[in-house]
Amino acid sequence: MKRTVVLCGPSLDSVSGVATHLMQLFESTLARQYTLVQFQVGSEGRSERAIAKIARLFTSPLHLFALILRARPDIIHLNSSLEPKAYWRDLAYLLVAKVMGCKVVYQVHGGSLPDLFLGTNRFAQSFLRWSLNLPDVVVLLAEVELDAYRKFNAGKRLAVIPNAIALSEYQTAYPKNFEALPIQLGSIGRLADDKGVMETILALAILRESGANWFKLRIAGSGPYESTLRKAVEEHDMGAVVQFVGPIFGKEKMDFWREIKIFVFPTFHREGLPYTILESIASGTPLITTRVGGIPDVVADGVHGLLLDSHEPQTIADAIRTIALDTERLQKMSEAAIERAQENYSVQRLSNQFHLLYRELLS
């Protein structure tokens, strides 16, 4: 008889990294080894008025309680993050699961590191440490997070299980031709002020001022910072080389990765392990990015791309200039990136790791 696991997270129809992660689990061999049941949390994928949202916040833990009574799950797998909204919301689900005697997997998808999350107040830190020791295991995305949780003495058991990507979707994205000009640079993701897109635009303005005319930039995605980014492109007279293509999915996204020669992602957001990093290496696209979150776990500096210690426009401009016209180096980076993705970031690897984790919890 298969054991039952409740996966708590956003709607599978929502556009988010956590939704992608859940979908991968439901479509993997894990779904043949366990009965997987989704319990939707959060506002992503919902259309509701303010009153309905408030009512849901208060009643949702009771709905989880009812689901546990009905389905008798063996494991509650909470997908959360150390962001204020997610942490306090999911703490209620965690307490319900523990009261009902379920094993709890608490997976942290980015956010703050624990020593910074609730500030320096000793009581607040003690409360956070107590709550993170409630789950049977805390799953993290990166080694840097593992070190931070160990130092904070948070989590009775810690495990690192990186994100994964459906590699078969990216087979048509390579081999790439790095000799053709102009060099097509790319940025994809939510257009927010801490994702490094503005810094990339300013870096290209620096290159243009130095006489470089061998590049174009394609920006895919949408978000609250889009109008500011468009204004910057206009102010620096970059309209001929910077294109906004909006949100892209499916074939459009595959076309994007096929056409992009270098992925520029100088993020300074509190990343866990961004799916765009995995998409980049899976598609054989060398990248220029920063040492944030789990990115250094995936990208070796000089092997798969360039890792930056700063997101300043001049630093980004220098990095682009360093590799953009070195076709032999880009080709080697592309081949190394594909190999890295295939060896370490398949959905099958993800499924196997969670199967082993679940089995150990239930033994």
176 sits in which H/E element:
none
What pLDDT does residue 239 have? 95
Interhelix angle for 347-362 vs 17-26, to 10°?
Answer: 70
Q: What is the DSSP string of 31-74?
A: HHHEEEEEEE-SSTT----HHHHHHHHHHHHHHHHHHHHHH--S
How high is the pLDDT of residue 175?
87
Q: How far is CA 41 from the centre of its chain?
A: 18
Whether 172 and 187 share a structural domain: yes
Residue 46: pLDDT over 70: no
Q: Note the pLDDT of residue 17.
A: 87
* Per-residue pLDDT, 48: 64
Same domain, 132 and 178: no
Helices (H), 141-225: 143-152, 197-209
Whether 272 and 358 map to the same domain: the answer is: no
Same domain, 287 and 196: yes
Question: For a pLDDT cut of 90, what percent of the chain falls above it?
Answer: 87
pLDDT at 186 over 70: yes
Q: Are 307 and 159 contained in the same domain?
A: no
Return the pLDDT at 214.
95
Sheet containing strand 242-246, edge to edge, reads 242-246, 215-220, 183-188, 262-265, 287-290, 305-308
Q: Say what angle helices 84-99 and 50-71 make with each other, to 10 degrees.
A: 30
Q: What's the pLDDT tens digit per position in 291-343? A: 998 999 999 999 999 999 999 999 999 999 999 999 999 999 999 999 999 99
CATH number of residue 304's parent domain: 3.40.50.2000
The number of distinct structural domains making up the chain is 2
Instruction: Please indicate, yes or no, whether residues 205 and 295 belong to a single structural domain of this protein.
Output: yes
On whether both 117 and 71 belong to a single domain, the answer is yes
| 172 plus 275 within the same structural domain | yes
Q: Are residue 54 and residue 202 in the same domain, yes or no?
A: no
Q: Count Cβ atoms below 10 Å from residue 146 Cβ, excluding itself.
A: 18
pLDDT at 272: 83
Q: Same structural domain for residues 325 and 353?
A: no
Pair 155, 7 in one domain: yes
Of 112, 153, 109, nearest to 131 (Cα)?
Answer: 153
- Give the three-state DSSP class for 343: helix
Contact 178, 327 (CB under 8 A): yes
Distances (CA, A) of 247 to 114, 188, 223: 32, 8, 9
Average pLDDT, the chain: 94
The sign of the torsion formed by the CA atoms of 68, 70, 73, 79 equals negative
Return the pLDDT at 44: 67
According to the model, what pLDDT value does residue 282 have? 97
CATH number at residue 65: 3.40.50.11930
Domain range for 300 is 167-344
What's the pLDDT tens digit per position in 163-183? 999 999 998 888 899 999 999
**Which residue(s) pair with 184 in the sheet?**
216
Residue 54 in this model has a pLDDT that exceeds 90 = no
In which band, very low, low, confident or very high, does the pLDDT at 21 lie, cut at 50, 70 and 90?
very high
Structure tokens at 80: 């959360």
Q: Do 307 and 194 share a structural domain?
A: yes
pLDDT band at 238 (very low <50, low <70, confident <90, very high): very high
With a cut of 80, say whether residue 189 has pLDDT above it: yes
Q: Quick: pLDDT tens for 91-136.
A: 999 999 999 999 999 999 989 999 999 988 999 999 999 999 999 9
Q: Which pTM does this prediction carry?
A: 0.89
Mean pLDDT, range 8-17, rounded to an integer: 87
